[in-house]
Amino acid sequence: MPQVGGVARNVRIEREGSEIVLRFVLEGDGQERLPVEMRGRRVLGVLDDGDQVEFNVRGQVRDRGGVARPDRIDNLSTHSVVHVQRQGCARQIGGLLVSLALSIFSGWLSTILLDALLYQNAPTIESFSLPDEAAPTFSSQPTLLPVAGVLVAVLVFFLIFVLPRLLRRRK
């Protein structure tokens, strides 16, 4: 693993959506500059402008965007470690299950409400007096209501789970 060291300049912590981003420029011995970025739920450790730091990077030092993305930084000035906590797998699965449950509930509720609004006072087939052998065997329930419920469920799932992740990737 390549080890990189230097002085941290322009240290800043910003919030982007639900993530905290630690950014700084690493100034090396030959005055070369390397942008560094760490993303996660929260930053643990202390890093100030002018601190002497070093870190290891898996693979290449810079990614395709020209930025180094270390997992942890050793702050040699304060003898501390700086790292970010990432969102765990259990939390991501929990978010998926909650949004899926909300989607199913909203689809079911919209089906019930549409049924109540559209067909509350509508005459049903059972209200006509027909001989037993001539009575139809199909239900008077319209077949578009379950489709509307599924569409609402898919829309809600997209809005609360998929869309925020798509927007986060574009940044």
If one counts the domains in the chain, the total is 2
Residues 93 and 154 in one domain: yes
29 in Cβ contact with 60 (< 8 Å): no
Say whether pLDDT at 118 is over 80.
no
Let me know: does 20 contact 42? Beta carbons within 8 Å.
yes
- Given 85, 100, 135, the domain boundary residue is 85
**Domain range spanning residue 46?**
3-85
Residue 140's pLDDT is what? 53
- Are 95 and 144 found together in one domain? yes
Query: What angle do helix axes 144-157 and 89-118 make, rounded to 10 degrees?
Result: 150
Per-residue confidence at 24, pLDDT binned at 50, 70, 90?
Answer: very high
Nearest-angstrom CA–CA distance, 73 and 69 = 10
What integer pLDDT is reported at residue 96 of this predicted model? 83
Amino acid 169: pLDDT: 63
Supply the pLDDT for residue 11: 92
Local confidence band at 143 (pLDDT 50, 70, 90 cut-offs) = low
Which pLDDT score is estimated for 75? Answer: 92
pLDDT band at 105 (very low <50, low <70, confident <90, very high): confident
100 in the same domain as 81: no
What's the average model confidence in pLDDT over 118-125?
61
Do 115 and 94 fall into the same domain? yes
Find the CATH number of the domain harbouring 81: 2.40.50
In the predicted structure, residue 141 carries a pLDDT above the cut 60: no
Q: Are 107 and 160 members of one domain? A: yes
Report the pLDDT value the prediction gives residue 109, as an integer from 0 to 100: 85
99: how many CB neighbours lie within 10 A of its CB? 18
155 pLDDT above the threshold of 70: yes
Out of 6-10, 142-146, 162-166, least confident range = 142-146
Residues in Cβ contact with 131 at an 8 Å cutoff, skipping those fewer than 6 apart: none
**Do residue 72 and residue 139 come from a single domain?**
no
Number of helices (H), then strands (E), in the chain: 3, 7
